[in-house]
Homo-oligomer: A and B are copies of this chain.
Amino acid sequence: MNFASDNVYGVHPKVLGALAAANEGTAPSYGGDVYTAQAEEKLKEVFGCDLRAFLVTSGTAANGLALSALTPGYGAVICHAEAHIAVDECNSPELFTGGAKILGLPAQGGKITPALVEKTLKGFIRGEHDPKPKAVSLTNATELGTCYAPHEVKAMSELIRPRGMKLHMDGARIANALAGLGVTPAELTWKAGVDALSFGATKNGAMMLEAVIFFDLPLAEDFAYRRMRGGQLMSKSRYLGAQMLAYLEDELWLENARRANRLALRLRDGLRQAAAIRIPNPVEANEVFAIMPRGLYDRLLAAGAKFYDWMPDSLGDAIAPDEVFARFVLSFATPEEDVDDFLRLVAKG
């Protein structure tokens, strides 16, 4: 019963198999291999457009490097107060961007709105005394298990594009967002105005693999230099390309995400049966957040379940001091019986 994160689970067998299959013979290093080239082609197919894709090994690196193409060091990136780039990456965006300001805005349910961003931008009235707003970053699916629908992404784009700002999407869980929303990759990204995407694969079945994808092609111009400088150009790059190919083939990635999302709904439905538990946000991807009494929380942990209590900042008064804001993350590999076993534990109280 491990719901601590989707990254506690392993690699999908097909991805693992692809690593073994790629292991024969020699291959050009540093991104010159055919797997890497094919992976980029496959991503073009998946997104239905021209794009540039750069494979890296971690989501933090993907985000930092992507943002470094969107903002100079004197710029600001606006995001949700709980965004990974704001509070989970130990100043990594600051490192890669050369010191840009990551401005996290508090908002319920993990989502920021154009109205909120517009209000923030109106505060930037003092020229160079403020940093220059250069980008907005939306996490999709969000840190709170919700999703930005294409029209929401588009509305943000329409606000900031005329101001010369770029739109980044942190897609560490974009497969789950796509599965949850039932939209195409194109609809959720470039058609909605996304300029750069951190395309996550690790959490959803890969081993260590993310792609920085540019839909706004000029942003990619010098990105190979940025990736190299960031220590993210792998010498044996074929093993990144091979992971990506297996991950995308036959929609494995969407398959995985759908399964995780289904389990999330199953968990949500079960938790809703418990009188002591409230589900404050819609469950739109593979995460479930629940407010529960601390006593119950302690008993569940003691019974062997693994999950985290989360920062309740976004809840305001909706949580009492003796309550816990619990997070459950479902993975493509979470056993279904774990969900059922856990719900039985909850039912016992």
List chain A positions with a Cβ less than 8 A from chain B.
2, 4-5, 7-11, 13, 16, 19-20, 22-30, 56-62, 64-65, 72-76, 87-92, 94-96, 98-101, 123, 126-132, 202-203, 207-208, 222, 224-236, 238-239, 306, 311
- B8 with A26: CB separation less than 8 A: yes
- B27 with A224: CB separation less than 8 A: no
Give the residue of B22, B94, B128 whose beta carbon is less than 8 angstroms from that of A99.
B94
- A95 with B88: CB separation less than 8 A: no
- B232 with A11: CB separation less than 8 A: no
- B231 with A92: CB separation less than 8 A: yes
A233 vs B127: C-alpha distance when bound (angstroms):
12
Given that A91-B131, A91-B229, A94-B100 are contacting pairs, would A24 and B7 also be in contact in the complex, using a CB cutoff of 8 Å? no
- A23 with B5: CB separation less than 8 A: no
Query: In the complex, which residues of chain B have a beta carbon less than 8 angstroms from the beta carbon of A129?
Result: 30, 88-90, 228
A62 vs B232: C-alpha distance when bound (angstroms):
11
Closest chain B residue, CB of each to CB of A203: B235
Give the residue of B56, B65, B89, B123 whose beta carbon is less than 8 angstroms from that of A229.
B89
Nearest first, the 4 closest Cβ-Cβ pairs linking A and B are A61-B231, A94-B99, A98-B98, A74-B225
Given that A90-B128, A90-B130 are contacting pairs, would A239 and B208 also be in contact in the complex, using a CB cutoff of 8 Å? yes
- B8 with A95: CB separation less than 8 A: no
6 extra A-B contacts, CB within 8 A, seeds A74-B222, A76-B91: A13-B23, A19-B19, A72-B225, A90-B130, A127-B224, A131-B225
Q: Report A197 CB to chain B, min CB distance, Å.
A: 17
Give the residue of B8, B11, B65, B231 whose beta carbon is less than 8 angstroms from that of A60.
B231
Closest chain B residue, CB of each to CB of A126: B88
Query: In the complex, which residues of chain B have a beta carbon less than 8 angstroms from the beta carbon of A227?
Result: 128
- A222 with B130: CB separation less than 8 A: no
Query: In the complex, which residues of chain B have a beta carbon less than 8 angstroms from the beta carbon of A57?
Result: 57-58, 208, 231-232, 234
Give the residue of B13, B87, B239 whose beta carbon is less than 8 angstroms from that of A130.
B87
Query: In the complex, which residues of chain B have a beta carbon less than 8 angstroms from the beta carbon of A59?
Result: 235
Query: In the complex, which residues of chain B have a beta carbon less than 8 angstroms from the beta carbon of A89?
Result: 129, 228-229, 231
Query: In the complex, which residues of chain B have a beta carbon less than 8 angstroms from the beta carbon of A56?
Result: 231
Closest chain B residue, CB of each to CB of A130: B90
- A128 with B224: CB separation less than 8 A: yes
Query: In the complex, which residues of chain B have a beta carbon less than 8 angstroms from the beta carbon of A234?
Result: 57-58, 208
- B26 with A9: CB separation less than 8 A: yes
Give the residue of B5, B60, B123 whose beta carbon is less than 8 angstroms from that of A233.
B60
- A239 with B8: CB separation less than 8 A: no
Give the residue of B65, B94, B132 whose beta carbon is less than 8 angstroms from that of A225.
B132
**A–B pairs, 22, beta carbons within 8 Å:** A2-B26, A8-B27, A10-B22, A10-B25, A10-B236, A16-B20, A57-B57, A57-B208, A61-B232, A64-B231, A73-B229, A74-B91, A76-B91, A90-B129, A90-B225, A91-B101, A92-B229, A95-B98, A95-B99, A96-B231, A128-B224, A132-B225
Query: In the complex, which residues of chain B have a beta carbon less than 8 angstroms from the beta carbon of A4?
Result: 28-29
Query: In the complex, which residues of chain B have a beta carbon less than 8 angstroms from the beta carbon of A128?
Result: 90, 224-225, 227-229, 233
Query: In the complex, which residues of chain B have a beta carbon less than 8 angstroms from the beta carbon of A65?
Result: 231
